[in-house]
A and B are shown apart, each in its own frame.
Chain A
């Protein structure tokens, strides 16, 4: 009886050991990469077009409508890797979601557009005007409020102009602002690329109003925060389990995002075509030109540089509106660590052409 029990125990222990060892070295067969449509998707266009398999792992790419949808995909575990607003990454992490920050994807793509005739622009011009924008309780609102606060300009949420103040009128998305700008029905608005390019082209075609860029919000942010860096608007995050099981794969994808940023700036046509035709992007117009892609500031950064910039950004947001990052700074475990060797990597094109 005792012998039988010992044999059974031995078999059980062997099975358990084997199961644990196999699960420890298991490699994934397919991963899902999610990106929100529009500017952030530009940073993934190269990968989407060229890399459907990386080191034997099948890669499925999904474009989603916006921040809400990407948050849902990350929160419910559908996304193994995702591009999302950096503050949203912190918020989800602070809510206990299973993600890690890998690196920054873009450094701001917001621009202040105007239909006003004046050739010069200062923030003082916004007083007594309605500023039309998207991104309530998100990066655009935080950036605009920080810029206005630093310039000592008072603002208020309102649909109508207020004497001596800037009235902030929020829209759910840019599609409500674009026709108004084209008609010349509004004077000041904030949009992100590629909507900026689209609205300027459409306005030129309609000949009702001239829409021009009055200010680069990234520049205004640098002035407002007294820094040399723009804000890390979107970032790449990874599911903790994928980072643990296949760190090398994540590192390779991170490196490829740098190659992708070089490739799309070298010749955007094939990648934009792929985004529009194959990924059926609704936010990237077929008429987008190189200068529009440049204005999206796709410049992936990893390692200690990215971590320092993100921490500085979170500190500003924390002092400003802690809810934007989920009430507190994410702890050190939020950052996946490593990837320092990518800090000086500038990317190559030819190897992937």
Chain B
């Protein structure tokens, strides 16, 4: 890698991060009360202290599991509905108002409506599902519709079996676009999951500990949990992008 590329790929993000930390530090100094805004140093000390506590791993594990389960359920169902909508146009037309309403519904309305109906730990799952499902549905449907029509015709002309069509044609064609969409939605799901945990008072979760810190005005603890949530989002997004690279390399040889 030449010097210019190193500077561009590594130096620029590091500079951005340094600027962010610098602004945070300056703001904390200007406010002057660590109860309201602790310095990055104070927050990091608290974060590393959290890393030594068992509850940290339990909470992060639970939030991760909740995120993955809700996301996977939304994705699988979105695939089913998108395939049905693409295959049967009438079904797509009937389902489109539901998808549109769910997609444009303000997240806070979804949260409040779910709380009116469900007041248990499952409320968080339902909220995530209802917000993520329409986004996933649109993303899968778009990916299906973007498949090259000439190649599609070719599979028809050569009378490919349905298995061959799906595994050798549709999946390789759709995967890059799908995984890009999924990586964005997945980090959003982490944010949504934490918010739902706060609002539905889910025990042993990142959201619950954030609320505990907020109510006691333990701002450095609140920010330490925030760092955990951000890292969780980065981790999931990174894993999906890695998966995308692997799949693209396998199917497209790039």
Partner of B203, one of A276, A280, A283: A280
Q: Assess whether A208 is in contact with B119, with CB atoms less than 8 Å apart.
A: no
Q: Assess whether A206 is in contact with B212, with CB atoms less than 8 Å apart.
A: no
B199, closest chain A residue (CB): A65
Q: Assess whether A69 is in contact with B216, with CB atoms less than 8 Å apart.
A: no
Q: Chain B at the A interface: mostly helix, strand, loop or mixed?
A: loop
Decide yes or no whether B208 CB sits under 8 A from chain A: yes
Q: Assess whether A282 is in contact with B212, with CB atoms less than 8 Å apart.
A: yes
Bound-state Cα–Cα, A283 to B213, Å: 9
Decide yes or no whether A198 CB sits under 8 A from chain B: yes
Decide yes or no whether A72 CB sits under 8 A from chain B: yes
Cβ distance B130 to chain A, nearest Cβ, rounded Å: 20
Partner of B119, one of A73, A179, A205, A285: A73
Decide yes or no whether A178 CB sits under 8 A from chain B: yes
Q: Assess whether A182 is in contact with B35, with CB atoms less than 8 Å apart.
A: yes
B35, closest chain A residue (CB): A206
Partner of A206, one of B33, B204, B214: B33
B116, closest chain A residue (CB): A72
Decide yes or no whether B246 CB sits under 8 A from chain A: no
Bound-state Cα–Cα, A202 to B35, Å: 8
Partner of A208, one of B33, B211, B215: B33
List the B side residues contacting A285 at CB < 8 Å: 215-216
Bound-state Cα–Cα, A127 to B33, Å: 31
Q: Assess whether A283 is in contact with B215, with CB atoms less than 8 Å apart.
A: yes
Q: Assess whether B119 is in contact with A72, with CB atoms less than 8 Å apart.
A: yes
Cβ distance A121 to chain B, nearest Cβ, rounded Å: 25
Q: Assess whether A280 is in contact with B208, with CB atoms less than 8 Å apart.
A: yes
Q: Assess whether A179 is in contact with B217, with CB atoms less than 8 Å apart.
A: yes
Decide yes or no whether B234 CB sits under 8 A from chain A: no
Q: Assess whether B119 is in contact with A178, with CB atoms less than 8 Å apart.
A: no
Q: Assess whether B201 is in contact with A65, with CB atoms less than 8 Å apart.
A: yes
Encoded as 1 (CB less than 8 Å from any A CB) or 0, chain B from 46 to 70 comes to 0000000001000000000000000
List the A side residues contacting B217 at CB < 8 Å: 178-179, 182, 198, 202
Cβ distance B40 to chain A, nearest Cβ, rounded Å: 19
Which of A69, A178, A282 has the most C-beta atoms of chain B within 10 angstroms of its own C-beta?
A: A282
B219, closest chain A residue (CB): A179
Partner of A198, one of B33, B55, B216: B216
What are 27 A-B contacts with C-beta separation under 8 Å?
A: A64-B201, A69-B119, A69-B201, A72-B119, A76-B119, A175-B215, A179-B36, A182-B35, A198-B217, A202-B35, A202-B217, A205-B35, A206-B35, A206-B36, A276-B212, A277-B55, A280-B203, A280-B204, A280-B208, A280-B212, A281-B212, A282-B201, A282-B211, A282-B215, A282-B216, A285-B216, A286-B216
Which A residues form the contact surface with B (CB < 8 A)? 64-65, 69, 72-73, 76, 175, 178-179, 182-183, 198, 202, 205-206, 208, 276-277, 280-283, 285-287
Given contacts A182-B35, A276-B212, A282-B208, 20 further A-B contacts (CB under 8 A): A64-B201, A65-B201, A72-B119, A175-B215, A178-B217, A179-B36, A182-B33, A182-B217, A183-B33, A183-B36, A198-B216, A202-B217, A205-B35, A206-B35, A208-B33, A280-B204, A280-B212, A282-B201, A282-B215, A285-B216
